Amino acid sequence: MTAIKHALQRDIFTPNDERLLSIVNVCKAGKKKKNCFLCATVTTERPVQVKMVKVKKSDKGDFYKRQIAWALRDLAVVDAKDAIKENPEFDLHFEKIYKWVASSTAEKNAFISCIWKLNQRYLRKKIDFVNVSSQLLEESVPSGENQSVTGGDEEVVDVYQELNAREEQDIEIMMEGCECAISNAEAFAERLSRELQVLDGANIQSIMASEKQVNILMKLLDEALKEVDQIELKLSSYEEMLQSVKEQMDQISESNHLIHLSNTNNVKLLSEIEFLVNHMDLAKGHIKALQEGDLASSRGIEACTNAADALLQCMNVALRPGHDMLLAVKQQQQRFSDLREHFARRLASHLNNVFVQQGHDQSSTLAQHSVELALPNHHPFHRDLLRYAKLMEWLKSTDYGKYEGLTKNYMDYLSRLYEREIKDFFEVAKIKMTGTTKESKKFGLHGSSGKLTGSTSSLNKLSVQSSGNRRSQSSSLLDMGNMSASDLDVADRTKFDKIFEQVLSELEPLCLAEQDFISKFFKLQQHQSMPGTMTEAEDADGGTLSRQHNAGAPLPVSSEKDMIRQMMIKIFRCIEPELNNLIALGDKIDSFNSLYMLVKMSHHVWTAQNVDPASFLSTTLGNVLVTVKRNFDKCISNQIRQMEEVKISKKSKVGILPFVAEFEEFAGLAESIFKNAERRGDLDKAYTKLIRGVFVNVEKVANESQKTPRDVVMMENFHHIFATLSRLKISCLEAEKKEAKQKYTDHLQSYVIYSLGQPLEKLNHFFEGVEARVAQGIREEEVSYQLAFNKQELRKVIKEYPGKEVKKGLDNLYKKVDKHLCEEENLLQVVWHSMQDEFIRQYKHFEGLIARCYPGSGVTMEFTIQDILDYCSSIAQSH
């Protein structure tokens, strides 16, 4: 076992810096015996790690290999199975239980004893030992030569210690010099003892021989000490001489240090004074500009701007620690503060005067714009005020209270000015829309405010009246074969469209110019541009200015954008109500004007939102667009209501219904207005509502008609609708177009069949009776044997309709159809041709029945198909 232990130590554990402490030969319990070794080891390096390793002999050769290792701290229980009887079995409880059988009980006990020792030293008694003899554990208490586990830092549980290479070499040399070293160990040991005694004697003799030399050495040391005393005396005298020199040098050094300190302090003082003078000294020219500078001239404004910037730099200089305690600095700061207050008051007073003067100057120019549909140009005023932009920025950063006061005064003055201008502008627009001042009074306009005073009832009355005028105009124009809308209506609507577009075109640049001015003058950020990109803006002269935005520019502040919006709302507070009044007037003049306004307003809202969705202009136009859309929906609802309320004359023929003609007018007008418009979806929805209303009410009127047959009303009106939709090519009404065509075709056929039953009434009744008998099951060739339908009856009926009578009946039918049909739709020839075809089809049907039911009778009609064609042609030509 010892040889195996040495082999395992050398081959497996020494390369891993481990020491083998105990080994036991085991095999697994209850299985075929395959021997292996369990080894208890510790590492040679600190911290010490204690492991239990399973080693197995390799199948391929005579060497051992490491199979598995467990940390001893993972061992929970050691079960020896029996504490009294000898039993080679034992269990080790790791994560699972391993059952082993040792080759002998002694090896098992030795191995368990080693584990107990390691547990005592390294694991603080963590492992539980079950069924282990207490005597075995007591014997394991460290004593004698096996003290290695519990004593100090030693790591030996076993007495064995391996020799190093030099020790092995020395032993081999000794053994080679003694022949009996191997054969007689006692003789070898005795020899070694004698040699050791000889060496000890030699050492003693050597020590005794060296005593004389020691005495000589002591004498020399005494002489050396005397020399040292002499040298110390000389060094003491030298030290006294150097001490005086040192004191003098110390005085010189201290004097130099004070001189250097004084120079350093002077340099620092000069630096501080230069700093204060350079940064807190305001030039006399700047002081004079701030106190007396001319704020009306360009040169004076520039001088004041430079002086204000210099003052701001002096006031914002970062003082070093202690500067604020200097009296001169405090006085200079107070002087700067007084200058700032004085100049801020002077600047605010001057700008307030400029705002007031602007109101007076602009008021004088209102008279020349009163007859023109144009808003006064504020560019000169903006240009003059922008010279003060830098001073406003200075005021904003130094005295925000006065800055806010100026902002409020500007809004007050300008809101009153813009209110006068905009109201006069809208008054002119309303007069131009209605034609003259008298007409504007008729539509509810009076006074300079231009507000509508008409009530809701008058508005509705006017709308009904205008729609009635359109119906009467439409019918008269249809009689002349012209377009459905009168030239007057078209001219008025075109005029209104141009005026409304001009109003929006004047308002849009006015608002944008004022917003841009507010942003620049009051130093408020309104746009966020991409870093390093070029943006274009239109200047007051119509040119294009390119501005480069730096990548490092600060981002806009949302509160400043809100401030711009609030200022714009207060300045232009009258725009939205004035626009709403103008829209109400346009809708009052002609409800179809809502189409023009919807398209124009949608376009301007879309343009404004592309520039800035949250701007004042975008928000205001968006609110007005809601009103326009509401009026448009109201227009559609009114048309549908008028369809439902239409009444027809009981004495005259119906013809094309008024609301059908109005739908044609509306669709034609809408298609021309909404061409390439942004809000086409609103029109498509309106189309769907209107066409459904038209379809329903055409059928309603047709059912109520007494003078004109229902089929004629349906046929003519749905033909007109189909023609209108085919001409306009409205994509969203394709299904309705097909439906209109189908209804027209169905009612044309129904009318033709109903009308043709009258010219040959008796003949029709006779053949209907023949068909009824055949339907009852009588064979066709046997019908002639029926008393009521024999050959004599057939000849009697046929004789009643000679060619002359047929022509007369057709002529009466043509006159009757001519009375039913209206001239506007021009369907007489179409209906007559259909009747001719249907009559020929009936003739052929009658001849077929005669040939089948009366074969060989020789009975024929007294007129031919050619006669029918000639009759129809001559009748049509004669009328």
Q: Where does 481-551 have alpha helices with state H? A: 487-521
pLDDT of residue 360: 67
Digit-coded pLDDT (tens) for 156-182: 444 445 667 777 777 777 777 776 666
Task: Summarize the confidence of residues 226-247 as an average pLDDT.
Answer: 88
C-alpha triplet 874, 875, 879: angle, nearest 5°: 115
Listed range (208-222, 429-443, 773-787, 816-830) with the worst mean pLDDT: 429-443
pLDDT of residue 148: 41
Confidence of residue 22 (pLDDT cuts 50, 70, 90): very high
Residue 822 has pLDDT above 80, yes or no: no
In the Cβ-directed half-sphere of 12, how many Cα atoms lie within 13 Å?
A: 25
Residue 537 three-state SS: strand
Alpha carbons 641 and 645: distance in angstroms, whole number: 6
Tokens for 835? 């009747």
pLDDT of residue 484: 41
Residue 19 has pLDDT above 80, yes or no: yes
Confidence of residue 53 (pLDDT cuts 50, 70, 90): very high
pLDDT of residue 794: 82
Listed range (62-66, 142-146, 614-618, 697-701) with the worst mean pLDDT: 142-146
Contacts of 637 (CB under 8 A, 6+ apart): none
Q: Which long-range contacts (CB under 8 A, 24 or more apart) does 682-685 make?
A: 682/598, 682/629, 682/632, 683/595, 684/732
Peptide bond into 709 cis (omega under 30): no
Residues 18 and 43 sit within 8 Å (Cβ to Cβ): yes
Q: Which long-range contacts (CB under 8 A, 24 or more apart) does 381-386 make?
A: 382/513, 382/517, 382/521, 382/540, 383/540, 384/354, 385/351, 385/354, 385/517, 385/521, 386/517, 386/520, 386/521
Residue 154 three-state SS: coil
* Residue 801 CA to its chain's centroid (Å): 85
Strand boundaries in 564-660, DSSP class E: none
Task: Summarize the confidence of residues 450-477 as an average pLDDT.
Answer: 37
pLDDT of residue 56: 87
> Position 105: which residue type?
T
Digit-coded pLDDT (tens) for 834-866: 887 888 888 888 888 888 888 877 788 877 788
Residues 657 and 471 sit within 8 Å (Cβ to Cβ): no
H or E segment and range at residue 458: helix 456-480
The pTM is what?
0.54
Question: Facing residues of 537 across strands?
Answer: 545
Alpha carbons 670 and 673: distance in angstroms, whole number: 5
Digit-coded pLDDT (tens) for 570-580: 999 999 999 99
Tokens for 189? 């040991």
Confidence of residue 326 (pLDDT cuts 50, 70, 90): confident
Listed range (11-25, 569-583, 807-821) with the worst mean pLDDT: 807-821
pLDDT of residue 668: 85
Computed over every residue of the chain, the mean pLDDT equals 78
Confidence of residue 93 (pLDDT cuts 50, 70, 90): very high
Tokens for 698? 């055409």
DSSP annotation string for 79-110: E-S-SSS---EEEEESSSEEEEEES-HHHHHH
Listed range (87-91, 313-317, 568-572) with the worst mean pLDDT: 313-317
Confidence of residue 398 (pLDDT cuts 50, 70, 90): confident
Task: Summarize the confidence of residues 706-720 as an average pLDDT.
Answer: 83
Helix, strand, coil percent values for the chain (each to nearest 5):
70, 5, 25
pLDDT of residue 485: 43
pLDDT of residue 31: 66
Residue 232 has pLDDT above 60, yes or no: yes
pLDDT of residue 41: 94
> Position 548: which residue type?
Q
Confidence of residue 376 (pLDDT cuts 50, 70, 90): confident
Torsion angle in degrees (nearest 10) through CA of 683, 688, 694, 696 = -160
Question: Facing residues of 38 across strands?
Answer: 24, 54
pLDDT of residue 140: 55
Residue 9 has pLDDT above 60, yes or no: yes
Residue 745 has pLDDT above 90, yes or no: no
pLDDT of residue 32: 66
Alpha carbons 547 and 551: distance in angstroms, whole number: 13
Digit-coded pLDDT (tens) for 268-285: 888 888 877 777 788 888
Q: Where does 210-297 have alpha helices with state H? A: 211-280, 284-292
Torsional sign, CA 703, 709, 710, 716: negative
| Tally of CB atoms within 10 A around 348 | 18
Digit-coded pLDDT (tens) for 401-428: 989 999 999 999 888 898 998 999 899 9
pLDDT of residue 364: 52
pLDDT of residue 315: 83
- Of 375, 752, 852, which is closest to residue 574 (Cα–Cα)? 375
pLDDT of residue 758: 57
Confidence of residue 481 (pLDDT cuts 50, 70, 90): very low
Alpha carbons 628 and 605: distance in angstroms, whole number: 12
Question: β-strands 77-79, 128-130: how paired?
Answer: parallel
Confidence of residue 445 (pLDDT cuts 50, 70, 90): very low
Query: In three state form, how does the secondary structure of 66-83 look?
Result: EEEEEEHHHCCEEECCCC
Listed range (60-69, 275-284, 440-449, 705-714) with the worst mean pLDDT: 440-449
Contacts of 278 (CB under 8 A, 6+ apart): none
Residue 366 has pLDDT above 90, yes or no: no
Cβ neighbourhood burial of 479 (10 Å; 0-12, 13-18, 19+): exposed
Digit-coded pLDDT (tens) for 631-656: 888 888 888 888 888 887 776 777 88
Query: For the chain, what percent of residues have pLDDT higher than 90?
Result: 8
- Of 169, 183, 182, 160, which is closest to residue 3 (Cα–Cα)? 160
Residue 355, phi-psi category: left (phi > 0), alpha (psi -120 to 50), beta (remainder) = alpha
Gyration radius of the chain's alpha carbons: 63
Contacts of 587 (CB under 8 A, 6+ apart): 459, 463, 593, 594, 597, 631, 634, 635
Task: Summarize the confidence of residues 327-337 as an average pLDDT.
Answer: 84
> Position 123: which residue type?
L
Alpha carbons 567 and 298: distance in angstroms, whole number: 28
Listed range (491-495, 555-559, 726-730) with the worst mean pLDDT: 555-559
Can you tell me which residue has the tokens 């808003």? 375
Q: Where does 365-386 have alpha helices with state H? A: 366-369, 379-385
Task: Summarize the confidence of residues 726-754 as an average pLDDT.
Answer: 86
